[in-house]
Amino acid sequence: MTVRDREAEFKQLFAQEAEQRLTRLGQELLQLEERGSDAELVGSIFRDAHTLKGAAAVVGFDDVGRVAHAMEDLLEQLRSGERLPTPEIVDVLLAAVDLLVELIPVGLAGGSRPDDATAMAARIDAVARGTTPAAAPEIETVELGTDEPATDEAAPLPAAAPAGERRSRAESETVMVPVSRLDELVRLVGESAAAHLRIGRLLGERLGTDPDTMPEFRDMSLVLNELQERTMRARMVPVATITDSLQRAVRDLARAQNKDVRWEVRGGDTELDRGVLQQLADPLLHLVRNAVDHGLEPTYDRITAGKPAQANVRLHAMQLGSEVIITVSDDGKGIDIDKVRAEAARRGDDVSGMTDDEALYLIFRSGLSTAEFISDVSGRGVGLDVVRASVDAARGRMEVRSEPGAGTEFRIIVPITLAVLRCLLVEVGAERYALPMHSVVVAQAADETEDAHAEGRPAVWVGGEPVTASRLAAVLDRPESTNGKGPTGGGQIVVVAGLTRRHAFYVDGLVGQRDVVVKGLSRLLPRLDVLAGASVEPDGSILLVLDAPGLIDRARRSRAGYRAVAPAAAEPLGAPTRRGTILVVDDALTVRELERSILERAGYEVRTASDGLEALARLGEAPVDLVLADVEMPRMDGFALTEAIRAHVTYANLPVLILTSRASEEDRQRGLDAGADGYIVKSAFDETALLGAIERFLGGGR
């Protein structure tokens, strides 16, 4: 290895280490602003800046060294107690971190930006001497009250010294692997799984026996399944990897607009596929900036309205089955539905027949904005449509809820990974297609005995409401079935959901559910709006994975696929014969509303409570048939609630199901000891299994 090669290698190593240190510096500076004076945290920040300065000098990154040296001088004032950390000081240090992030790639490429480095060093020096403010002079700033302790719901901030010790241990057990190598590993595991299925099919044909009865084949199946699961986990990253940049965006925009905003994160350790999280980074950034700029009122208006002066923006992430739900909420003024309607009408949209919920989703249309003035953040009518497009690309869906004067919540629901999707396989003629299960509302046999119409078009009944129906074969322009189950036979029906609409599709058969290794289509192929990807079947054929929003859009654009059929009114499609009233108890609004949606869609009446004490009050107001409760809740948790129900003479026999993220065997046993009739872990959540368990407990004849 030549001297030049060795120098290039050292520079690359420095760049990798510096990237980690700068990420940590940004996190710690935000923590410092929240905590105020913290000697251990200041010491950790100082050491990182000092190490950057020394390492930059060794590899010849003079621009980086100059800025880091100026940071070190200012941090020394904090470390000695001469100065206290203020928002102005944090401003300039964060700006320095941003510049260092830009300077390192420039240095790797052999370039330099001495003027920028010198200007930043001078700016830091001026703040250190107290001769000029750190913030840009055109922005009037106020020092925000950040010395209040965080609530239990906020993400905990670790102490600097223990965090540093944990960091050293973690780094010693970590190997940096290129993402492309992980992607190749995922591809090979998928190919192995497909080959394994082909071998099983071949064994069955040649030997005339079920290969699963062979111990060797069964062992290979178990190993391959575990390998696939571990490989997918290797691509998983916690949501917390992007929350620091979101916190920075909230903090900077709030200071620029003189708003006192508190940032909270719950569920930051929730993991999902790195590729999915990357696709959500920009949409989430837009949502939090939109919350601060467009959702939160000025401080004076909040006080006048009787609200706390400090506003709140929260990100909450959680896993539920094979999906991850991420919400961004604020406690601002909410969305003005009348303004949305008026703006949509001004743009030529027909809003006369829209409900408030339907009108609310108009905000996702390109060009629609209710901002009173245009700024660099909002008012141009672009943004939420891009958010929707990005979520669609991640095979997810969006929901929005808003209450005037109380705030707004945007909910993003995406599959944990796009590499493997749980799909429903359906038959259309002689062909099979896959529909991602997160888009499937209901799938069952169709009873064509009565017509219905929705929006002037043929429809079927789903949960007591008409849903427009089409033949999937006609929408895909494929041959009709000749087996009597097609356009004139009974067949099967699948209802799928997009962002704002549901649509029913008639198919010839339901094959079943299965995990499908999804591969993206070649960029050389034209983009097809109804396709999400493809997979290779055991026999070598191609299985196309359909995209629900694309299918709905295509079906609504063409009337060719509509058919005038509907099941009998006596038993609407999707409405169970066994009905009852269920009390959902969970302190997270997102979970409560999601469970409410699932249960109401299945035909149940749903009541909600945010904790155990409220649940007991609800039970006293009116009887229910079953309680579905979380464990971790304020005031009274799920275990205590279950014990209270069992101890009450009136409710002693009331079925109680616990749905929680606590998966340990000890917690499960504690739930059963408390008297719960069932214990379901959220990470293993399955809508079908949940509804099946509820129906078993409620029985028939309701």
3-state secondary structure of 510: strand
DSSP 366: T
CB 677 within 8 A of CB 656: yes
Distance CA 258, CA 252 (A): 10
575 half-sphere exposure, CB direction, 13 A CA radius: 17
Q: Predicted confidence band at 562 (pLDDT cuts at 50, 70, 90)?
A: very low
What is the mean pLDDT of the segment spanning 444-454? Answer: 51
Sheet of 261-266, strand order = 261-266, 311-320, 323-330, 407-415, 397-403
pLDDT band at 320; cut points 50, 70, 90: confident
What lies within 8 Å, CB to CB, of 138 at 6+ separation is none
Query: Residue 48, Cβ neighbours under 10 Å: how many?
Result: 23
- In this predicted model, what pLDDT tens digit does every residue of 221-268 receive, in sequence order? 888 878 877 777 777 888 888 888 888 888 888 888 888 888 988 888
SS (HEC) of 607-656: EEECCHHHHHHHHHHCCCCEEEECCCCCCCCHHHHHHHHHHCCCCCCCCE
First-to-final CA distance of the chain: 80
CA atoms within 13 A on the CB side of 633: 29
The one-letter amino acid code at 21 reads: R
Q: Is the distance from CB of 407 to CB of 422 less than 8 angstroms? A: no
Strand partners, 444: 493
The pLDDT score that the predictor gives to residue 628 is 92
Q: 559 CB contacts (<8 Å, ≥6 apart)?
A: 457
**What percentage of the chain carries pLDDT values higher than 90?**
3
Average pLDDT value for residue range 275-283 = 85
CA dist 651 to 342, 515, 584, 642, Å?
A: 50, 41, 16, 10
**Of 334, 324, 331, 344, nearest to 391 (Cα)?**
324
DSSP per residue over 280-310, as a string? HHHHHHHHHHHIIIIISPPHHHHHHTT--SS
Mean pLDDT over 588-603 rounds to 76
Half-sphere exposure of 440 (CA within 13 A, CB side): 22
Q: What is the pLDDT of residue 2?
A: 64
Quote the CA–CA distance of 297 and 408 in Å, as a whole number.
Answer: 12
Distance CA 585, CA 690 (A): 15
Per residue, what are the HEC states of 46-110?
Answer: HHHHHHHHHHHHHHCCHHHHHHHHHHHHHHHHHHHCCCCCCHHHHHHHHHHHHHHHHHHHHHHCC
Asked if the model's pLDDT at residue 490 lies above 70, the reply is: no
What are the two backbone dihedrals, phi and then psi, of residue 238, each rounded to the nearest 5 degrees? -75, 150
CA-CA distance, 598 to 607, in Å (whole number)? 13
Residue 437: burial class (beta carbons within 10 Å; 0-12, 13-18, 19+): buried
SS3 407: strand
pLDDT band for position 584 (cuts 50, 70, 90): very high
What's the pLDDT tens digit per position in 543-558?
888 888 778 878 877 6
Nearby residues of 623 by Cβ (< 8 Å), 6 or more positions away: 581
Worst-scoring range by mean pLDDT, 31-35, 155-159, 337-341, 412-416?
155-159
Contact 561, 475 (CB under 8 A): yes
User: Residues 167-188, buried b or exposed e (16+ Cβ, 10 A)?
Assistant: eeeeeeeeeeeeeeebeeebee
φ/ψ (deg, to 5) at 522: -60, 145
108: closest CA among 61, 141, 47? 61
CB 364 within 8 A of CB 387: yes
SS (H, E, C) 173-185: CCCCCCHHHHHHH
Give the residue-averaged pLDDT of 181-202. Answer: 78
> What pLDDT is recorded for position 641?
92
Assess whether pLDDT exceeds 60 at residue 488. Answer: no
Backbone angles phi, psi at 66, to 5 degrees: -65, -45
Angle formed at CA 386 by CA 593 and CA 95, multiple of 5 degrees: 100
Whole-model pTM?
Answer: 0.58
**How many CB atoms neighbour CB 114 within 10 A?**
10
Least confident of 105-114, 162-171, 607-616: 162-171
Three-class SS state of 540: coil
pLDDT digits (tens, 9 = 90+) for 459-472: 777 666 778 888 88
Is 386:394 a contact under the CB 8 Å cutoff?
no
Mean pLDDT of 407-430: 82
What pLDDT sits at residue 451?
Answer: 46
Residue 135 has pLDDT above 70, yes or no: no
**What would the pLDDT profile of 62-92 be if each residue is shown by its tens digit?**
888 888 888 888 888 888 888 888 888 888 8
**Residue 555 parent element (H or E):** helix 548-557
Q: pLDDT tens digits for 164-184? A: 444 444 445 566 666 677 777
Q: Which of 502, 439, 440 is nearest to 470 (CA)?
A: 502
- Residue 372 structure tokens: 């009173």
pLDDT tens digits for range 14-57 = 787 788 788 888 888 888 887 777 788 888 888 888 878 877 87
The pLDDT of 465-493, averaged and rounded, is 69
